[in-house]
Structure 1
């Protein structure tokens, strides 16, 4: 299809190209930058979505030659890019690569960064437009934000400056509010992008399309028909080399506070008047403001650590045997809880959230489980173990939607059995989905905020989670579960008290 000169350039169906700009990545030699950020920037360039003069500036501790930094970026692209290797694209990207070496607490290092950005503005035509990506440990956020302000990098006359902050945004409500206050002193609200890579996944965005573009589902999306909702993010791996980050954080802070509560908000929200950032945030905030943590923490929460066991046919260590984990650690690697939403639509419908490491397999899904039919005119022997209808949205790895329902078994008898009708992204669309960081980085450069949680959402999520974490801190000990299983017995008992069971994805 050729270009149509009559089409509105604001049409969101057309890919938007970022204007003159650069991105500065603090922590350029870290795991996230190497595996995700640098490859995503190459993919954007490969798709023609970055301007020719785009520049990528790294801030690193260890001084190396420029040629070595370029080779490091080349290897990262080769290992992680989703689009094909094109030498022309790489040469264009490499021409805009720069690196500043130093320490975050040394003003001399920041003066070098200021000088480097001025040089880039002159040589690459970036016009003073710079995004600062904080791919660093959360403890360093306040220092870096303060230094950006001190050295005049947070604002520029006639140009934009934006800051990208990775999760976790604080470790509780008080610390999140403190960090929000600091950031608000340095950057205007519209220039702050709190990044949650899950929100950039195509299947997460499809939740809203699925709900509001199809007339057959929305009439059932309420307490008259829905029995409960299960939201699961399971990983089959352990903590690996992340002990320094993970211990003291745990599964609830790492996953539930951001990923799972954001998924819950999208599943439960009312229809927005549009899909712009403000309209989406209003509806999500209503859900988070009316979400209630369990009234009985001892009955409707569970937390545990994985022990040694078998995963993928390999014998693996328990959490406390992992490198650099203290023997007395009570950090949870599994967390589950019941959340109730105090609105007319969802009154009496529990939302069960769970996440864990070293579970049966890697999967993220949302399962909307419907109530049983009020009357079934079948004989006792006609429906063996007939379950409830369920609509399952698979976020990863096998992206798609499954609808489970009862159907008649071929034959002369009226025998009913559960069957599944499946939609898979890979089989339905020729177009490949952009990687989450690819979409989110481009949105930052465009100044487009719909996929980024705002300050109110972050603080409301902590208000939900803080009472649960406080209860766990006061309780004695922590449960355990064998690696390769689906979590502790306490999580199964939590569901059994409500007369329900966890899905086996």
Structure 2
């Protein structure tokens, strides 16, 4: 469905706009979600001309490989002609006056009916300033048109800074107008969690504390910090991955079934799910959370984190986090959720493992102590996409010896190629006003409150880093976290 809109991108010369936003918008144009009645204003400090801006946009499309196989070679040029550039200082009132004049002209030229999306592809410290000027200088339209603000994570560094950030933009935009992008929520396999849970009687009936023993979430990366060392020194794995991506996945896995699957009902259940995660004391943090920092690999061919360019020689920032969360949502009350994420691990993989209870007596064995193999449902997020269900069946020609088998489904390369990029899908949703796959302030706030307890506990202690070898699956303490509960990590590529 075609949607008329004016996009105003603050940070239009930046890496995010070049790598993600321009290719995503081009895909929407190519597929007809955007037609001829749209326009884009890019703003930043650089003194670019419109012609130069058009060349940059077309280069972004080409570098993203989004134009391969097209039959219409004129399409990128036609698309880029909808882009206009204005040099802009976010602190200068006069620049907003000029921006309003250009926006009004484009609204009339393209008949956009006052629909405006403001995309803040800049550091969060500018969000409040920009939002305030947009309101004060009357860039927000009245009447039937919409005004929507898209902001990128990080949404603060802790709860106080997140609240300050939220307060700074909520004076100009209402909550229903704010679209907080977490690109993990734009991934099709993450969006499929609700469908798997609530769209299948088998899993819907088994998704309870009576049948699930534990849930495991792994976001493993094989690379180190690479060129992100400067950012990582201020963020670490907790702020970079746990508070946002992992907590969003936790909410989708543990929320109660909504009466209706729409943005408002889903938001209500996700907020409830995060609020029902147990808050820990300092002592409980020490028992249930582990942090790590990678050292050299066993052959000394890869640098330790502290030896990476841009890091502190005595850095105490974590590149690995593992933890045990407890949900008190009614249907899963008491079920532990084991989480882990880290850099320089054995293998890149994002997956969720649902481990079912294994209390049944093995009537097929003469040994009364022999247990059945545990049933496990694995959701593969990336690089594979699909699922694996492990269950037991009879093998061999004699007797009733049971062995585990795997029911597997993986998306083919062709199927994955047809899935929209996360940013493409999220921008399309923002155009439609669909907030299903965006984070609500209450989710963000509660996730920070939970993780602030962990962060504050760690900040009061000096860690013994580095404490895991590059190419391993993290520090031994992460395995011990499960071992003392009589469990083990399902995903173990070194086993």
Alignment partner of 2:10 out of 14, 20, 26: 26
SS at match of 1:414: coil
Give the conservation status (yes or no) of the 8 Å contact 1:153–1:161.
no
Residue in 2 that maps onto 1:60 = 44
Residue in 1 that maps onto 2:485 = 498
Q: CA deviation at 1:384?
A: 9.1
SS at match of 1:353: strand
Residue in 2 that maps onto 1:379 = 365
Residue in 2 that maps onto 1:325 = 311
Give the conservation status (yes or no) of the 8 Å contact 2:358–2:372.
no
Q: Deviations over 1:207-240 (max 9, x none)?
A: 1111111111111111111110001111122222
1:108 aligned to 2:94? yes
Q: CA deviation at 1:303?
A: 0.8
Residue in 2 that maps onto 1:389 = 375
Q: CA deviation at 1:328?
A: 2.7
Cα distance between partner residues in 2 of 1:274 and 1:314: 55
Evaluate the alpha carbon distance shift between residue 34 and residue 220 of structure 1 in structure 2; reply closer, same or farther with a 3 A threshold.
same
Q: CA deviation at 1:116?
A: 2.2
Q: Deviations over 1:267-307 (max 9, x none)?
A: 11111111211100111111111101445211210111122
1:240 aligned to 2:198? no
Q: CA deviation at 1:261?
A: 1.1
SS at match of 1:236: coil
Tell me whether 254-263 or 119-128 shows the greater mean CA deviation. Answer: 119-128
Cα distance between partner residues in 2 of 1:70 and 1:174: 41
SS at match of 1:291: coil
Evaluate the alpha carbon distance shift between residue 68 and residue 429 of structure 1 in structure 2; reply closer, same or farther with a 3 A threshold.
closer
Cα distance between partner residues in 2 of 1:380 and 1:309: 46
1:305 aligned to 2:293? yes
1:254 aligned to 2:240? yes
Cα distance between partner residues in 2 of 1:149 and 1:220: 50
1:71 aligned to 2:55? yes
Q: CA deviation at 1:408?
A: 2.7
Q: CA deviation at 1:317?
A: 2.0
SS at match of 2:273: helix
Cα distance between partner residues in 2 of 1:176 and 1:394: 31
Cα distance between partner residues in 2 of 1:306 and 1:292: 29
Evaluate the alpha carbon distance shift between residue 329 and residue 151 of structure 1 in structure 2; reply closer, same or farther with a 3 A threshold.
farther
Residue in 1 that maps onto 2:476 = 489
SS at match of 1:348: coil
1:369 aligned to 2:355? yes
Evaluate the alpha carbon distance shift between residue 243 and residue 105 of structure 1 in structure 2; reply closer, same or farther with a 3 A threshold.
farther
Q: CA deviation at 1:68?
A: 2.2
1:80 aligned to 2:74? no
Cα distance between partner residues in 1 of 2:304 and 2:436: 40
* Alignment gaps of 5+ in structure 1: 1-15
SS at match of 2:291: strand
Mapping of 1:473-488 within 5 angstroms?
Answer: 473-479=459-465, 480-488=467-475
Which TM-score applies when normalising by structure 2?
Answer: 0.92
Evaluate the alpha carbon distance shift between residue 478 and residue 273 of structure 1 in structure 2; reply closer, same or farther with a 3 A threshold.
farther
Evaluate the alpha carbon distance shift between residue 430 and residue 38 of structure 1 in structure 2; reply closer, same or farther with a 3 A threshold.
closer
Mapping of 1:68-147 within 5 angstroms?
Answer: 68-82=52-66, 84-85=69-70, 86-147=72-133
Q: CA deviation at 1:246?
A: 2.1
Evaluate the alpha carbon distance shift between residue 380 and residue 177 of structure 1 in structure 2; reply closer, same or farther with a 3 A threshold.
farther
Residue in 1 that maps onto 2:452 = 466
Give the conservation status (yes or no) of the 8 Å contact 1:155–1:187.
no
Which TM-score applies when normalising by structure 1?
Answer: 0.91
Give the conservation status (yes or no) of the 8 Å contact 1:42–1:81.
no
Cα distance between partner residues in 2 of 1:161 and 1:112: 19
Evaluate the alpha carbon distance shift between residue 66 and residue 292 of structure 1 in structure 2; reply closer, same or farther with a 3 A threshold.
same
Q: CA deviation at 1:69?
A: 1.7
Tell me whether 54-63 or 118-127 shows the greater mean CA deviation. Answer: 118-127
Cα distance between partner residues in 1 of 2:230 and 2:294: 17
SS at match of 1:465: helix
Tell me whether 99-108 or 159-168 shows the greater mean CA deviation. Answer: 99-108
Q: Deviations over 1:89-133 (max 9, x none)?
A: 323311101111232223333333223212312322223321111
Residue in 1 that maps onto 2:253 = 267
Residue in 2 that maps onto 1:457 = 443
Cα distance between partner residues in 1 of 2:139 and 2:368: 71
Residue in 2 that maps onto 1:345 = 331
Q: Deviations over 1:64-105 (max 9, x none)?
A: 333222111111111215464432432331110111123222
Q: Deviations over 1:438-459 (max 9, x none)?
A: 1110111121111111111111
* Alignment gaps of 5+ in structure 2: none
SS at match of 1:360: coil
SS at match of 2:301: strand
Residue in 1 that maps onto 2:392 = 406
1:283 aligned to 2:249? no
Cα distance between partner residues in 2 of 1:251 and 1:156: 42
Q: Deviations over 1:138-162 (max 9, x none)?
A: 2222222223233222343442211
Alignment partner of 2:2 out of 4, 12, 17: 17
Tell me whether 146-155 or 29-38 shows the greater mean CA deviation. Answer: 146-155
1:163 aligned to 2:126? no
